[in-house]
A and B are shown apart, each in its own frame.
Chain A
Amino acid sequence: MSGELLVSLLVLLPVAVAVCCLALRNAAAQKVLLLPAMVLLMVAAAALALRVLPEGPFALTPAAVWDNIVAVLDYVILAYFLYIGVTSRNGLVLGLAVVLAVLLPVVQFGVLGGHVAVSPVFHIDALAIVMCLVISVVGSLIVLYATDYMPAHEAHLKLERTRQPQFFFWFVLFLGVMNGLVFANSLLWLFFFWEVTTLCCYHLIRHNLTDEARENALRALWMNLVGSVAMVAGIGLAYNNAGTISIQELVTGGSALVLLPLALFCLTGFTKAAQAPFQSWLLGAMVAPTPVSALLHSSTMVKAGVYLVLRLAPGYADTSLSLLVAIFGAFVFMVTSLLAIGQNISKRVLAYSTIANLGLIVCCAGINTDLAIAAGIALIIFHAVSKGMLFMAVGVAEQQIGSRDIEDLDGLAARRPVLTIAAVIGMLSMLFLPFGVAFAKWAAIEAAGAQAGWFIAVVTFLAVGSAATLVFWSKWLGRMLSGPVVETKEPKPFLAYGTILLLVSGAVGLSIFVTPLITVLIQPALSGMGYDQAFDVAGWHLRTTFGFFPPWALFLAVAAAVLLPALAARGYRKELDPVYLCGVNVDGPELWFTGIAGEPVQATTGGAYWTQLFGEARLTPLSNWSALVLLVALLAGVILR
């Protein structure tokens, strides 16, 4: 198949499927439509990858009429935002939409003078392929998961009239838009896709139509509009300063004049990636159905933000902007990891962890060395797989248990063994070394450590944040693993469980085969962006100039260390003894003790959140102000240069 066809398939197939979804009210019909469509999408992505990776970047410029269509659609969306602002009486949305409505024509017709030909409009290099694979594979799996999830979700809500058509419309549409976004080289096209993702995001957050959902959707909207404004301003400045709105030209131009637009684009990326102080929209987005959280808010859409920052990284290498981006990202990584310690709602923990990991990717972009960029790209992949899967597992658990409180997930292993094992592997893969996320963390710390000067701050933030990560995952993970044996049958919806298990095996498999992954995907992406190779991969080891990482040996050792005892413990058949309760256990039910007046009292073992130290009330204002200061410093540093 030709490259053009594949690209248009990747972008337009989801759009077409989405429109079809509008007509389908029946769950079975949805499955019939979506399953082949999603498989096709995955195949297309793979085919494109097979074409691009060996042959180098693939460029594509659609007919000029499409430029006009895109321009018109920009204004349609803008009008819709204005309409939302007016009807919802939300000053921020309205205000920002108005600013955008003024700024966009000014930039488009004033600065750009109507029409600027960009060549190529789509530039598909290895980095775009990495993103495309993530979107098409992980995204498609999540769509399939949603076909199981949404009927149950609606059954739970007891809706009179199904709203699944709308849901799947926005949901599937998003995949195509996202593919377009990562392929786009023209900033105007990028802006268009960017706006559509914002729109999808808005609709999906408010899907449940509760007051909270509407409010949070509006918050997401205005925060994303901040990014849009910054982007439009950036486009104008870029054209003004450098005379181009092609990303490739901007990045490779090496002109100091483009630093300000690049900083503005970074700001746009930060808003999309929900970096502090914009993290509240992502937290609020957790009211949406879980597939939305899994798809938009962890594995793909928020990645658009960091993708942009990463994509532009060569443009600001070795500048103070780079350092400030690194410090900002590391700071966000640290502070959101600390904030996650104080959370007891599972989805909020996942959300904070997502923000933290995005911060880490931003930080990698800022460190801006071969190793750091490699770490950033690796993180995009590993995080998407693990976090998407964790969201899905938590969503199933929420549906089956009826709670998203970590407290209620205590002892899940006894009730939902398969789900728990999947979740535990997912968490371990987020947390510990032989797995990819931690590997990327290792690479990031080594990369940051290898820089001197102000990067000491980056390393410090990373070290603290990495310890905080350990704490909030561990205290959740450990609690799930044991509990009173309850004889319940674990319902296992095929697609939901199937996709979860696929992603689990993906997380483990990719981590084991990290060396070929680096050779095949990440090193080409690096060279596509103009960086050198980060690793010496000879002998299946990953050797950097100063560090050494033997994935296979580690995997063997850790697998032996974790799996063998687990197997042995399964074989322990003897009756379990009661726990230590100062000698006043009550016979029979677990965890009851004799308390006041000789009456039995149930011992509870709630988790620790240390909210007086890590609670939102204490940390959020602090982190928001600090992040704001860093952002101002970031922009000021660029302007004052």
Chain B
Amino acid sequence: MARVTFPFGPQHPVLPEAIQLQLTCEDERVVEVLPVIGYMHRGIEKAAEANLYPNNIFLCERICGICSFIHALCYCELIEGMMRVEVPPRAKYLRVVWSELSRIHSHMLWLGLLADSFGFESLFMQCWRAREIILDTLEMTTGQRVIQSSCVIGGVRRDIDLDMEPGVRRQMAAFQKELKSIYPVFAKDYTVKLRTVGKGVLPRDQAWSLGTVGPTLRGSGWADDARTLGYAVYDDLGFEPVVEIGCDSYARMMVRLREVVQSVELVIKALDQMPEGDLTVTVKSFPEGEGLIRVEQPRGELVEYARGNGTAYLERLKVRTPTFSNIPALLVMLPGCELADVPVITMSIDPCIACTER
């Protein structure tokens, strides 16, 4: 049987980022796939040892520009935990608001890219158009569209004050309206289903044992979400993970779609319940000892480990990003699929290579 071996990436129009899949196909059926990564590696962990520890927030935010707020949040909570700093409750609520807004923006971005990957251009446009409402909200509240730089150790830098809050609520209402027109297309459209249902099946057991996280894992029927650990104020908001049991690309898509709906509700709920109070507490000392934290990024569970030695510099900062755990799943999902499904299946784990390679 004639084989075709060729590189899929690093420069490839369906891949927004540089990752290479070394594919081997027979006809159009993929028989072998090898992920070749490293095109996005910068060496952030090393740089984090050379930076002042508060400056690492800005570096961590730029591990990934899409979920940057949650990276910052993760780092801040980690250092705060190591230093036993108690963050003011209002700051915790604001962190939830912004991290859920980032999640919406990330998921909408992803939904658009997925639509693009199966050639549904108008749906892509519609998603990104709706996403602009969220970006406007983020810029309005934090001053930047995608990299918010709002989290600092000890709290947050900016407030959603009473003047701004109605604006945010209006924006959320507008977004909900847009979402309502997009949701059924993803959930029910014949062609969308044809391209996603049964594609890239990741059985429940395998999803667990391969170590997949986030929507990839939840799409295979596991209610595993680090937000249930109750960092920030997720405890008080009555958060429940979204789970689908389809195990395929469609299930993963539906998890993200439903999470968008859920996140909008969480934002509104957080705004409703937001207490008055300070935004930050002053932090004076330096981190010491070891700390380990898990938070839920749009792509899944983010694990950070830090080791401090009582100076302004960290001895070690380890970031395990969700995509890093999800890439092995590609090795299971891709072989046997058709070339046309490669983009869809690759997108279905929501690969964030900038995250992965740091």
What residues of chain A have their CB less than 8 Å away from a CB belonging to chain B? 344, 407, 581-584, 593-597, 601-612
- Once the chains are docked, how many angstroms separate the CA of A607 from the CA of B28? 10
Most buried by A among B1, B26, B27: B27
A607 touches B20 (CB 8 A): no
Let me know if B41 is at the binding interface, CB within 8 A.
no
- Once the chains are docked, how many angstroms separate the CA of A344 from the CA of B29? 17
A609 touches B12 (CB 8 A): no
A344 (CB) vs chain B CBs: closest residue: B2
B7 touches A603 (CB 8 A): yes
A612 touches B27 (CB 8 A): yes
B3 touches A604 (CB 8 A): yes
Most buried by A among B2, B8, B10, B11: B2
- Once the chains are docked, how many angstroms separate the CA of A607 from the CA of B10? 24
Most buried by B among A584, A593, A610, A611: A584
B27 touches A604 (CB 8 A): no
CB distance from A611 to the nearest CB of B (A): 7
Let me know if B120 is at the binding interface, CB within 8 A.
no
CB distance from A166 to the nearest CB of B (A): 37
Mask for B1-34, Cβ within 8 A of A = 1, else 0? 1111111111110000000101000111100001
Residues of B with C-beta under 8 A to A407: 2
Provide a sorted-by-A list of 18 A–B residue pairs whose CB atoms are within 8 angstroms: A582-B7, A582-B11, A582-B12, A584-B7, A584-B10, A595-B34, A596-B34, A596-B35, A597-B36, A602-B5, A603-B4, A605-B4, A606-B26, A607-B2, A608-B28, A609-B27, A611-B27, A612-B29
CB distance from A387 to the nearest CB of B (A): 24
B2 touches A601 (CB 8 A): no
CB distance from B320 to the nearest CB of A (A): 22
A585 (CB) vs chain B CBs: closest residue: B7
Residues of A with C-beta under 8 A to B20: 582, 584, 595
Residues of A with C-beta under 8 A to B27: 608-612
CB distance from B17 to the nearest CB of A (A): 13
B12 touches A603 (CB 8 A): no
CB distance from B38 to the nearest CB of A (A): 8
- Once the chains are docked, how many angstroms separate the CA of A633 from the CA of B128? 61
Q: A344-B1, A584-B10 are in contact. List 11 more A-B contacts (CB 8 A).
A: A582-B7, A584-B7, A593-B6, A593-B7, A595-B7, A595-B22, A601-B7, A604-B5, A609-B2, A609-B27, A611-B27
CB distance from B85 to the nearest CB of A (A): 44
A581 touches B22 (CB 8 A): no
Residues of A with C-beta under 8 A to B4: 603-606
- Once the chains are docked, how many angstroms separate the CA of A607 from the CA of B26? 9
CB distance from A636 to the nearest CB of B (A): 40
B5 touches A603 (CB 8 A): yes
Residues of A with C-beta under 8 A to B28: 608, 610
B34 (CB) vs chain A CBs: closest residue: A596
CB distance from A612 to the nearest CB of B (A): 7
Residues of B with C-beta under 8 A to A611: 1, 27
B28 (CB) vs chain A CBs: closest residue: A608
Residues of A with C-beta under 8 A to B26: 606
Residues of B with C-beta under 8 A to A612: 27, 29
B15 (CB) vs chain A CBs: closest residue: A582
Count of chain A to chain B residue pairs whose CB atoms are closer than 8 Å in the complex: 64
Shortest 3 CB-CB contacts between residues of A and residues of B = A606-B2, A583-B11, A595-B22
Residues of B with C-beta under 8 A to A608: 2, 27-28
A583-B10, A596-B36, A608-B28 known; A601 and B22 CB under 8 Å?
A: yes
B11 touches A595 (CB 8 A): no
Residues of B with C-beta under 8 A to A606: 1-4, 26
Residues of A with C-beta under 8 A to B6: 581, 593, 603-605
- Once the chains are docked, how many angstroms separate the CA of A593 from the CA of B5? 10
A606 (CB) vs chain B CBs: closest residue: B2
CB distance from A348 to the nearest CB of B (A): 14
- Once the chains are docked, how many angstroms separate the CA of A605 from the CA of B5? 7
- Once the chains are docked, how many angstroms separate the CA of A596 from the CA of B5? 12
Residues of B with C-beta under 8 A to A583: 10-11
B7 touches A581 (CB 8 A): yes
Residues of A with C-beta under 8 A to B8: 582
B5 touches A601 (CB 8 A): yes
A596 touches B2 (CB 8 A): no
- Once the chains are docked, how many angstroms separate the CA of A582 from the CA of B17? 12
CB distance from A613 to the nearest CB of B (A): 9
- Once the chains are docked, how many angstroms separate the CA of A611 from the CA of B4? 15
- Once the chains are docked, how many angstroms separate the CA of A298 from the CA of B29? 34
CB distance from A610 to the nearest CB of B (A): 5
CB distance from A344 to the nearest CB of B (A): 6
CB distance from A412 to the nearest CB of B (A): 16
CB distance from A252 to the nearest CB of B (A): 52
- Once the chains are docked, how many angstroms separate the CA of A241 from the CA of B291? 102
- Once the chains are docked, how many angstroms separate the CA of A431 from the CA of B279? 77
- Once the chains are docked, how many angstroms separate the CA of A581 from the CA of B5? 11
B26 (CB) vs chain A CBs: closest residue: A606
Residues of B with C-beta under 8 A to A602: 5
- Once the chains are docked, how many angstroms separate the CA of A581 from the CA of B28? 18
Most buried by B among A603, A606, A611: A606
CB distance from A631 to the nearest CB of B (A): 33
Residues of B with C-beta under 8 A to A603: 4-7
- Once the chains are docked, how many angstroms separate the CA of A596 from the CA of B34? 7
Most buried by A among B5, B26, B34, B35: B5
- Once the chains are docked, how many angstroms separate the CA of A602 from the CA of B1? 17
Mask for B109-131, Cβ within 8 A of A = 1, else 0? 00000000000000000000000
A582 touches B34 (CB 8 A): no
A595 touches B2 (CB 8 A): no
Residues of B with C-beta under 8 A to A610: 27-28
Residues of A with C-beta under 8 A to B10: 582-584
A596 touches B7 (CB 8 A): no
Residues of A with C-beta under 8 A to B1: 344, 606, 609, 611
CB distance from A617 to the nearest CB of B (A): 12
- Once the chains are docked, how many angstroms separate the CA of A610 from the CA of B2? 11
Residues of A with C-beta under 8 A to B36: 594-597
- Once the chains are docked, how many angstroms separate the CA of A610 from the CA of B338? 11
- Once the chains are docked, how many angstroms separate the CA of A604 from the CA of B1? 12
Most buried by A among B6, B8, B12: B6
Residues of B with C-beta under 8 A to A344: 1-2
B4 (CB) vs chain A CBs: closest residue: A606
CB distance from A409 to the nearest CB of B (A): 12
- Once the chains are docked, how many angstroms separate the CA of A593 from the CA of B4? 13
Residues of A with C-beta under 8 A to B34: 595-596
CB distance from B4 to the nearest CB of A (A): 5
A580 (CB) vs chain B CBs: closest residue: B11
CB distance from A475 to the nearest CB of B (A): 11
CB distance from A342 to the nearest CB of B (A): 10
Residues of A with C-beta under 8 A to B3: 604, 606
Residues of A with C-beta under 8 A to B7: 581-582, 584, 593-595, 601, 603
- Once the chains are docked, how many angstroms separate the CA of A596 from the CA of B327? 15
Residues of A with C-beta under 8 A to B11: 582-583
- Once the chains are docked, how many angstroms separate the CA of A66 from the CA of B26? 60
Residues of B with C-beta under 8 A to A594: 7, 36
- Once the chains are docked, how many angstroms separate the CA of A611 from the CA of B3? 13
CB distance from B8 to the nearest CB of A (A): 7
A597 (CB) vs chain B CBs: closest residue: B36
- Once the chains are docked, how many angstroms separate the CA of A597 from the CA of B6? 15
- Once the chains are docked, how many angstroms separate the CA of A538 from the CA of B158? 91
Residues of B with C-beta under 8 A to A604: 2-6
Most buried by B among A597, A601, A610, A612: A601
Question: Given A582, A597, A601, A607, which contacts B9 in the complex, CB threshold below 8 Å?
Answer: A582
From 181 to 217 in chain B, residues with beta carbon under 8 angstroms from any chain A beta carbon are none
- Once the chains are docked, how many angstroms separate the CA of A221 from the CA of B27? 36
Residues of B with C-beta under 8 A to A601: 5, 7, 22
Residues of B with C-beta under 8 A to A596: 22, 34-36
Residues of A with C-beta under 8 A to B9: 582
A595 (CB) vs chain B CBs: closest residue: B22
- Once the chains are docked, how many angstroms separate the CA of A344 from the CA of B26? 13
- Once the chains are docked, how many angstroms separate the CA of A605 from the CA of B6? 8
